């Protein structure tokens, strides 16, 4: 994996040998200033600092982190839980894996800060089953932290107890959805829950629960030690700080890049990533993981990597998974690859999603292998509209939005797959 080029908040240790060990973490300032600042103020003070930093959830939704924490009710008589979402499975995204493998102690320090802020004494790290090295690294890091009294009955002698457990997933994209993640821990089958009630009020085991992404938590040590103002030095007014972007596809230097929010997407592709491979032209970019609407080469010219600019360009920043495609890519083929993914990963709970993902995938299969018609495009559009906003979670939307955007932005690719007049009538549905 390529080391990020700019070292800012999250990736400062990535290039250092043995960056995953406690010794290196402490030698480079870990478990020191940030924790003493944390424990020297009230939990509300910590929440206020994080609110001031403007840190937004880095899992995909971009919800304000401090705000989310402030939703946890106080004095319920129930325990509060923190669940760390390390179930990174959004196609095109591989940033959390880097943080877990290279800097697990930064995450643990972030967990301690978050738990103190929300008065939580038990945290679960939900890690995707495939991440074996990440699992080993975080497991070892937790052991080291317990042995040094950084975790356990009396965290750093501050009279604060915190236990951290790892819960391994077993291969299901849907478990990255926060309520599915809770179900996966509680009952086993990761099927999302209806909201409200929101997990902050009724979450894990019926108790107040905060679910935060690995990258969000990993930013906390910096914010606490250097202060909200230092964090806001980077980024834009509404999207402060830095974010990790996972770049893949037809570019010279794929990898994880830590950039200030508001950075130019074109510059990321052309300068940081060294441009396209094999001298090909850029055709399309998915800016935030496979679930967000696609961009054309023209959109890329003006799009900035922040939440607001992404929306202004008809897409979303999502998880920051940037997939770059060159002029040779048939967008029907690309979309078909993704619809198979969503059809495979639908949890099967809601009819519009279970049936919709399957039918869209079958229609695209037919278009790709046997030719399609204009009627197919209407049908794909119709099915997509009947999926969006009609299900318990947003997996249905996560497929419908790409479908609608691919058709809108690359209509010629679809027309290239139309059957010629006089060819065989509608072929069999497989």
Residue closer to other proteins, measured from CB, 211 or 223: 211
Contact flag: residue 250 with other proteins (CB under 8 A): yes
- Interactions with other proteins, residue window 262-301 (CB under 8 A): 286, 290
Residue closer to other proteins, measured from CB, 346 or 391: 346
Contact flag: residue 88 with other proteins (CB under 8 A): yes
Residue closer to other proteins, measured from CB, 51 or 136: 136
With contact defined as beta carbons under 8 Å apart, do 262 and 236 qualify? yes
> Which range, of 64-72, 319-327, 373-381, 388-396, touches other proteins by CB under 8 A?
319-327
With contact defined as beta carbons under 8 Å apart, do 294 and 405 qualify? yes
Residue 272 CB, shortest distance to other proteins, in Å, is: 13
Q: Which of 89, 209, 225, 291 touches other proteins by CB under 8 A?
A: 89
Binding mask 187-206 for other proteins (x = CB under 8 A): xxxx--------------x-
Instruction: Break the chain down into helix, strand, coil percent, rounded to 5.
Output: 45, 15, 40
Contact flag: residue 76 with other proteins (CB under 8 A): no
Contact flag: residue 63 with other proteins (CB under 8 A): no
Q: Which of 181, 268, 325, 394 touches other proteins by CB under 8 A?
A: 325
With contact defined as beta carbons under 8 Å apart, do 265 and 300 qualify? yes
Residue 250 CB, shortest distance to other proteins, in Å, is: 6
> Which range, of 49-57, 223-231, 296-304, 320-328, touches other proteins by CB under 8 A?
320-328
CA distance 320 to 78: 35
Residue 389 CB, shortest distance to other proteins, in Å, is: 25
Residue 153 CB, shortest distance to other proteins, in Å, is: 14
Size of the chain, expressed as the number of residues it contains: 430
CA distance 63 to 54: 10
- The secondary element (H helix, E strand) that includes residue 322 is strand 321-326
Contact flag: residue 97 with other proteins (CB under 8 A): yes
Contact flag: residue 235 with other proteins (CB under 8 A): no
Contact flag: residue 144 with other proteins (CB under 8 A): no
Residue closer to other proteins, measured from CB, 35 or 202: 202
Q: Which of 154, 229, 252, 337 touches other proteins by CB under 8 A?
A: 337
CA distance 364 to 310: 27
Among 4, 272, 31, CA closest to 141: 31
Question: For 248-330, where are the alpha helices, taking DSSP H only?
Answer: 265-267, 297-302, 307-312
With contact defined as beta carbons under 8 Å apart, do 290 and 308 qualify? no
Distance (Å) of CA 33 to CA 64, 85, 112, 406 = 24, 25, 13, 48
- Interactions with other proteins, residue window 12-51 (CB under 8 A): none
Tell me which residue has tokens 């291969």: 171
CA distance 61 to 212: 11
Chain centre distance of CA 1: 18
Query: H/E/C letters for each residue in 113-170?
Result: HHHHHHCCCEEEEEECCCCHHHHHHHHHHHHHHHHCCCCECCHHHCCCCEEEEEEECC
Among 415, 413, 409, CA closest to 299: 409
The angle, 0 to 180 degrees and rounded to 10, between the axes of the packed helices 351-370 and 374-387 is: 160
Q: Which of 4, 30, 92, 235 touches other proteins by CB under 8 A?
A: 92
Contact flag: residue 94 with other proteins (CB under 8 A): yes
> Which range, of 170-178, 231-239, 303-311, 375-383, touches other proteins by CB under 8 A?
170-178
Residue 167 CB, shortest distance to other proteins, in Å, is: 7
Contact flag: residue 423 with other proteins (CB under 8 A): no
> Which range, of 181-189, 236-244, 308-316, 378-386, touches other proteins by CB under 8 A?
181-189
- Interactions with other proteins, residue window 380-399 (CB under 8 A): none
User: Three-state DSSP class for 213?
Assistant: strand
Residue closer to other proteins, measured from CB, 169 or 287: 169
Q: Which of 139, 140, 167, 266 touches other proteins by CB under 8 A?
A: 167
- Give the interface with other proteins as residue ranges (CB under 8 A): 1-2, 88-94, 96-97, 128-133, 165, 167-173, 184-190, 205, 246-250, 254-256, 286, 290, 321, 323, 325, 329, 334, 337-338, 341, 344-345, 347
């Amino acid at each position: 994996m390529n080391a990020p080029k700019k070292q800012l908040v999250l990736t400062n240790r990535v290039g250092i040998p043995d960056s995953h060990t406690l010794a290196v973490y402490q030698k480079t300032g870990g478990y020191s200033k940030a924790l003493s600042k944390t424990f020297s103020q009230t939990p509300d003070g910590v929440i206020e600092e994080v609110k001031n930093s403007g840190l937004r959830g880095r899992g995909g939704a971009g919800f304000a982190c401090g705000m989310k924490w402030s939703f946890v009710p106080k004095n319920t008589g129930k325990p509060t839980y923190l669940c760390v979402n390390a179930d990174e499975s959004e196609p095109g995204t591989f940033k959390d894996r880097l943080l877990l493998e290279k800097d697990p102690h930064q995450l643990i320090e972030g967990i301690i800060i978050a738990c103190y802020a929300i008065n939580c004494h038990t945290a679960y790290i939900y890690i995707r089953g495939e991440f074996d090295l990440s699992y080993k690294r975080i497991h070892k890091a937790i052991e080291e932290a317990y042995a040094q009294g950084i975790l356990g009955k009396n965290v750093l002698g501050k009279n604060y107890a915190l236990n951290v457990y790892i819960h391994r997933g077993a291969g299901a994209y849907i478990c990255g959805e926060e309520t599915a993640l809770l179900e996966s821990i509680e009952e086993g089958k990761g099927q999302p829950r209806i909201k409200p009630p929101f997990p902050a009020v009724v979450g894990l085991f019926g108790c107040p629960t905060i679910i935060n992404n690995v990258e969000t938590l990993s930013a906390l040590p910096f914010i606490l030690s250097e202060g909200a103002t230092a964090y806001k030095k980077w980024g834009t007014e509404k999207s402060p700080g830095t974010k990790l972007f996972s770049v893949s596809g037809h570019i010279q230097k794929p990898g994880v890049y830590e950039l200030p929010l508001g950075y130019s997407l074109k510059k990321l592709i052309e300068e940081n990533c060294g441009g396209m491979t094999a001298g090909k032209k850029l055709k399309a970019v998915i800016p935030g993981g496979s679930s967000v609407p696609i961009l054309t080469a023209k959109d890329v010219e003006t799009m900035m990597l922040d939440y607001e600019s992404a929306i202004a360009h008809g897409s979303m920043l999502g998880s920051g998974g940037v997939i770059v495609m060159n002029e040779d890519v048939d967008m029907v083929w690309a979309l078909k690859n993704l619809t198979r993914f969503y059809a495979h990963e639908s949890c099967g709970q809601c009819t519009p999603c279970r049936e919709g993902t399957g039918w869209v995938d079958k229609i695209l299969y037919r278009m790709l292998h046997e030719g399609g018609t204009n009627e197919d495009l209407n049908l794909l559009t119709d099915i997509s509209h009947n999926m969006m906003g009609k299900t318990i979670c947003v997996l249905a939307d996560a497929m419908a939005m790409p479908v609608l955007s691919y058709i809108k932005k690359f209509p010629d690719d679809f027309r290239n797959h139309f059957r010629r007049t006089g060819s065989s009538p509608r072929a069999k549905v497989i």
